[in-house]
Amino acid sequence: MLVFITGDGGYNDFSKSLLSYFSQEGYPRLVIDAKKYFWKKKNPQEAGREFERYIDHFKKEWDCDQIYLVGHSFSAGVLPFILSNFSDPLKKSIRHVTYLSPDQYASFEVTVSTMLNWKQKPNGYEVLAEVLKLKQFPSTYVFCKEGEEDLVKMFRNAGLKVDVLAGPHNYNRDFKTIYNTIRLR
């Protein structure tokens, strides 16, 4: 089962277009709209518990035992903190995690400034530090070529394998390439 957490723009055309590739391949998908969910501020523990409840529900309903997590933009930043707060049984179901353009810092609240892509100020949620605690999970880190050079360098310097796709933050809307970069194995 693919669990896709949208960017702070919500379940928009970008998300729908990307997810259409997974639909064509028959993957069951749980989509969590970050714009709606995080419009009211959350904390990592609360988000972890609530996301686990959603995932457990659909795992049972769809009879799925393998989970693939994908976070885009805003949600790529909060995803490692959410994953850290999952129970051990759910963690054992995680087969792969894909981070599409995580930022340096995560915020657990969608605001107008996050939607306008204004940089987050340091607020205690350092994404890379949390990602490095989760090395037991096979993971893919995807960045765009334009505008995320510092993040690419930071993640590579930490010893992580990084994929860089053409274009700005939307990867030139090359959904087939994005789909092929997300590893569901």
pLDDT at 31: 98
pLDDT at 114: 63
pLDDT at 164: 97
Angle formed by the axes of helices 74-84 and 44-62, nearest 10°:
80
pLDDT interval class at 15 (50, 70, 90): very high
Give the chain's mean pLDDT. 93
- How does pLDDT run across 95-146, given as a tens digit for each residue? 999 999 999 999 899 987 665 666 555 566 999 999 999 999 999 999 999 9
pTM: 0.94
Domain 2-181 CATH superfamily = Alpha/Beta hydrolase fold, catalytic domain (3.40.50.1820)
Closest by CA to 155, choosing from 171, 178, 139, is: 139
**Interior angle at CA 28, CA 93 and CA 33, nearest 5:** 90
Closest by CA to 101, choosing from 151, 154, 150, 176, is: 151
